Structure 1
């Protein structure tokens, strides 16, 4: 089973690359952002709670995020593996993911960090906002999400680096070139 984390700030291209990776490796994509949006769209009690947090640019508490993620993994017992996108965002979440996968006799094989600078991120998200009008892409929320990533979330990387699981890929360039670099990393696993 191939489980890996696709890591990067908002706008790094995780969603775009994930779709290509799903097609190539037949993996299940678990995006916490997609899970949150589905709960929000369905107006579930959890969705209402998540909506208020996201609209304010805050991270959803670990216990909610982890429970949703575990539920998604459990829905797919025959999966060849999982792409975790947007998770983990804290060291506590990373440790919880390791513990959960270990209980399933599995683990994270590799963490791939898409490296994209803030200027490029802002440009990409502004363009995406024109096309999708995602509430979390509005300028006031966007800067808060990018700041959150660079001040808090990025600190998860040393956790995986200490396990020799971290690989970095340049996230700026042509989509297919970035995809080829991602495949080069994943093919080793």
Structure 2
């Protein structure tokens, strides 16, 4: 049995995090856990959590850290996450970083690496504008997309710095063909 692999993936909107998370998780035989997917699934199934999150998001608010931490802790307790996981979309705040560290420490675990997809912002904006056109996302204007990029930089820079200091940050060039990026990520991960 290989050593557990506990990973986080970071990258701005449009960097291909979701695509890479699924591919990396499959290669490593660990679940890709997206907080966004968990929220959407709970909203769709009208669970208690889903209704709570739906109301928060409908009013334009952010889901509080306590709620997000609770759903992540629950998801990490599932059997498929026993030998590792790849988190996409979590943590997003320093409070969530502390909560995740505490969750893992409680079970004698720690993160193995934090992958940051490094991309060219103009290329990503172009990619997202093309996707908006194809998928008919009229709200995804260049201004909106650039604002999301700026918010990501502001919110995530401190997390990347924290993980850099902890010796866990692995920066990978996220530009190029999907297979090439996946291969780069796998090659950059610490070997167990």
Pick the TM interval, shorter chain. Answer: 0.7 to 0.9
Pair 1:179 & 2:182 matched: yes
Contact 1:13 1:171 in 2 (8 A): yes
TM-score normalised per structure 1: 0.86
Name 1:4's counterpart in structure 2: 7
Contact 1:50 1:60 in 2 (8 A): yes
Pair 1:13 & 2:11 matched: no
- Per-residue CA shift, 1:117-155, capped at 9, x if unaligned? 3322323333444566789x7447645433321122222
Give SS of 1:36's match: helix
Q: Which moved more, 1:52-61 or 1:83-92?
A: 52-61
Q: Compared with structure 1, are the counterparts of its residues 149 and 133 closer, same or farther at alpha carbon in structure 2 (3 Å cutoff)?
A: same
Pair 1:95 & 2:102 matched: no
Name 1:147's counterpart in structure 2: 150
Point out where structure 1 has 5 or more consecutive residues left out of the alignment: none
Contact 1:28 1:79 in 2 (8 A): no
TM-fit CA distance, 1:9: 1.3
| Count of paired positions | 188
RMSD, matched Cα: 2.6
TM-score normalised per structure 2: 0.85
Q: Which moved more, 1:45-54 or 1:143-152?
A: 45-54
